[in-house]
A and B are shown apart, each in its own frame.
Chain A
Amino acid sequence: MEKLLISPSPHIHSGASTQKIMRDVLIALAPAELLAVLVYGWSELLLLAVGVTACVFFEWAITRWMLKKPSTIGDLSAAVTGLLLVMNLPTSTPWWMAVIGALFAIGVAKMSFGGLGQNLFNPAIAARVFLLISFPQQMTDWTATPGFIHATDAISGATLLGVYAEGGMDALVAAGYPGNHRLFFDIGGSAGEISAGLLLLGFIYLLCRRVVKPWIPLSIIGTVVLISGIFYLVNPAVYTGPAFNLMTGGLLLGAFFMATDYVTSPMSDWGGVVYGVGIGLIVMMIRYFGSYPEGMSFAILIMNCAVPLINRAFHSRKYGRA
């Protein structure tokens, strides 16, 4: 031994890394997206390739040419943003919109705040909302594109939530409500909404890998079930029920994978519960009383703003200070 290495303790590390965490998130999202590619075919595959590549490219380009810093794409966070963005888009979205979305997600929502860890809003959701406002027509065109496997009940046009927002309960019943929501295969809406079951599977994977904690999704789902349950019981002729609300409008995708984003959610467990309840409340208010059909994206963005405040209010329990 020529020279001894000296460092402060601890001298070993758990081996955890940002890259490993992001890789787990990618793995967790993969099954649902894979099914979406099978069902929606070439157009979804193109979106996926363009969206992820664009996000990674923009991050690389910004760090390389604008910030003149070492590239951070190795941490895979840009890839996660790209995948989430694609899963949040209708399958018929033109590919260039995915590029614009990626530019907004990485350039505006993430890097302009200082990069990973500094952003106030979840980049993928911010980009989705940006696209929704900029291209309302394309972003609400839910025409299912032809897939690699035959999807028998392929529907086109508006989602059920869209129908409900437009024409209320009567229109919804005419469209087949309450219907049978299928856990593992449900066409309609964004690509990522295709299978609640696979999303749940992915989330369980994240839980097992201890990447996320269950409190935020549980409190979102709990709040949604509670509120829609109460409204449904009071007047089922006007208000949609809990099962319907859980299975539609990307609620599970948002609750499992977007609201749990480390950077834009509270640090403490109880803070997470408050954050989740807030999202649940806002999403139900938008669905019942707002003019937008779903509202998960807006709910998460609004609660993102509250995170710094929540972090100030909730701290972990300290030893010996009871």
Chain B
Amino acid sequence: MTSTILWTILILSGLGLVLAVVLFLIAKKFKVEEDPRIDDIEKALPGANCGGCGYAGCRAFASSAVTAPDLEKHFCPVGGNAVMKQVASILGFEMREKAPQVAVLRCNGTCEARPRVNTYDGLKSCRVKASLYSGDTLCAYGCLGCGDCEAACTFGALHINPDTLLPEIDETKCTACGACVKACPRMLLELRNKGPRGMREFVACRNLDKGPVARKACANACIGCGMCLRTCTHGAIVLENNVSYIDFSKCKLCRECEAMCPTGAIHGVGFPKPLDKEAVKERIRKRKEEAAHE
């Protein structure tokens, strides 16, 4: 009896020892030499593996970054400048600051503004819907409301509002990874600079139809009337294919276009005070009068 126990202990211990040696040798022989900086960079990264940088995940980003000649093609939108500073210092590169961005929705066709003419009865997916027809409203460019963007967002920053059937973006959670931009078959989501103290202006519409058609489809549509273009004194507005677009690099956030827009398609976000349309219109009128005097 005692000898059985003894033998068991001996054999098992011996086996353990032999296997340990084998494991050690194998680990030695097949050791993969890896740049230690990859681990460092990966640690510095947020670890969301969202793919927003264009690489398969944080590790892929790190192993690509260590071989890159500069950080031109490597930017982690989730970590932003703070993380990139760390990455740059690990690699000994110059840090190039990027303005923080956020996703904005270029559609404001709420249920009220866009009467529904059709009902969808299929897989709940914007992609399927977009491949099938122009959508439940007369607008062939607007949000389809099935929430592909919501499904694509790994940060829980996007939610379809059941009342408007439009996605709403939670700025505090949005990391500008761009997943929603890729998911939207209508290309309605855009990454824009967050702007100074979070203030920004954008045209919340992509309807390329001519004014009357767009208007009929949606009360909030950009009708391409050019009012904003004529109002803007900074040359920040481009009017192409019946729809306006604000270049955020030129926009001075004066909110004049927003006040003048007849359909309310231009949205201002993050401003401390609500827009006093009449005051702004008065200001524009006075300026024009002065210009006429001169």
B119 close to A4 (CB less than 8 A): yes
Closest-CB distance, A1 to chain B (whole angstroms): 10
Instruction: Determine whether B30 belongs to the interface, using a CB cutoff of 8 Å to chain A.
Output: no
Instruction: Determine whether A3 belongs to the interface, using a CB cutoff of 8 Å to chain B.
Output: yes
Given contacts A8-B128, A8-B132, contact A3 B122 (CB under 8 A): no
Instruction: Determine whether B67 belongs to the interface, using a CB cutoff of 8 Å to chain A.
Output: no
Report Cα–Cα, A7/B122, bound state, in Å: 5
Report Cα–Cα, A7/B120, bound state, in Å: 6
A6 close to B133 (CB less than 8 A): yes
Report Cα–Cα, A8/B127, bound state, in Å: 12
Instruction: Determine whether B123 belongs to the interface, using a CB cutoff of 8 Å to chain A.
Output: yes
Report Cα–Cα, A6/B123, bound state, in Å: 11
B116 close to A5 (CB less than 8 A): no
Q: Which residue of B lies closest to A4 (CB)?
A: B118
Instruction: Determine whether B121 belongs to the interface, using a CB cutoff of 8 Å to chain A.
Output: yes
Instruction: Determine whether B117 belongs to the interface, using a CB cutoff of 8 Å to chain A.
Output: yes
Closest-CB distance, A120 to chain B (whole angstroms): 28
Report Cα–Cα, A148/B136, bound state, in Å: 64
A5 close to B119 (CB less than 8 A): yes
Q: Which residue of B lies closest to A11 (CB)?
A: B121
Which residues in A have their C-beta under 8 angstroms from that of B136?
3, 6
Which residues in A have their C-beta under 8 angstroms from that of B118?
3-6
Report Cα–Cα, A222/B204, bound state, in Å: 70
A5 close to B117 (CB less than 8 A): no
Report Cα–Cα, A97/B226, bound state, in Å: 79
Which residues in A have their C-beta under 8 angstroms from that of B122?
6-8
Which range holds the interface residue count of chain A? under 10
A8 close to B119 (CB less than 8 A): no
Report Cα–Cα, A5/B132, bound state, in Å: 12
Report Cα–Cα, A6/B121, bound state, in Å: 6
Report Cα–Cα, A7/B132, bound state, in Å: 8
Q: Which residue of B lies closest to A3 (CB)?
A: B119
Which residues in B have their C-beta under 8 angstroms from that of A3?
116-119, 136
Interface string of A1-20 (1 = CB under 8 A from B): 00111111000000000000
Q: Which residue of A lies closest to B120 (CB)?
A: A6
Q: Which residue of A lies closest to B123 (CB)?
A: A8
A7 close to B117 (CB less than 8 A): no
Interface string of B130-141 (1 = CB under 8 A from A): 001100100000
Closest-CB distance, A315 to chain B (whole angstroms): 25
Report Cα–Cα, A3/B118, bound state, in Å: 5
Which residues in A have their C-beta under 8 angstroms from that of B120?
5-7
Q: Which residue of A lies closest to B122 (CB)?
A: A7
Q: Which residue of A lies closest to B131 (CB)?
A: A8
Report Cα–Cα, A4/B132, bound state, in Å: 14
Which residues in A have their C-beta under 8 angstroms from that of B133?
6
Closest-CB distance, A313 to chain B (whole angstroms): 30
Report Cα–Cα, A5/B116, bound state, in Å: 11
Closest-CB distance, B139 to chain A (whole angstroms): 15
Interface string of B15-54 (1 = CB under 8 A from A): 0000000000000000000000000000000000000000
Which residues in B have their C-beta under 8 angstroms from that of A8?
122-123, 128, 132
Interface string of B96-140 (1 = CB under 8 A from A): 000000000000000000001111111100001000110010000
Report Cα–Cα, A6/B120, bound state, in Å: 5
A4 close to B121 (CB less than 8 A): no
Report Cα–Cα, A8/B146, bound state, in Å: 15
Which residues in A have their C-beta under 8 angstroms from that of B116?
3
Closest-CB distance, A10 to chain B (whole angstroms): 11
Report Cα–Cα, A5/B122, bound state, in Å: 10
Contact residues, A51-103 vs B (CB, 8 A): none
Q: Which residue of A lies closest to B133 (CB)?
A: A6
Contact residues, A1-53 vs B (CB, 8 A): 3-8
Report Cα–Cα, A313/B121, bound state, in Å: 36
Report Cα–Cα, A67/B203, bound state, in Å: 44
From A4, A5, A6, residue with most partner B Cβ within 10 Å? A6
A4 close to B123 (CB less than 8 A): no
Which residues in B have their C-beta under 8 angstroms from that of A6?
118-122, 132-133, 136
Report Cα–Cα, A213/B231, bound state, in Å: 74
Report Cα–Cα, A8/B136, bound state, in Å: 14
Closest-CB distance, B41 to chain A (whole angstroms): 38
Closest-CB distance, A71 to chain B (whole angstroms): 22
Report Cα–Cα, A5/B120, bound state, in Å: 6
Closest-CB distance, A160 to chain B (whole angstroms): 44
Contact residues, B143-174 vs A (CB, 8 A): none
Closest-CB distance, B3 to chain A (whole angstroms): 32
Which residues in A have their C-beta under 8 angstroms from that of B128?
8
Closest-CB distance, A6 to chain B (whole angstroms): 5
Report Cα–Cα, A7/B131, bound state, in Å: 11
Which residues in B have their C-beta under 8 angstroms from that of A7?
120-122, 132
Report Cα–Cα, A137/B102, bound state, in Å: 69
Report Cα–Cα, A8/B123, bound state, in Å: 8
Interface residues of B (CB under 8 A from A): 116-123, 128, 132-133, 136
**5 A-B pairs in the complex with CB atoms less than 8 angstroms apart:** A3-B118, A3-B136, A5-B118, A6-B120, A6-B136
Q: A3-B117, A6-B132 are in contact. List 7 more A-B contacts (CB 8 A).
A: A3-B116, A3-B118, A3-B119, A5-B118, A6-B136, A8-B122, A8-B128
The 4 nearest A-B residue pairs measured at CB: A7-B122, A7-B121, A3-B119, A8-B122
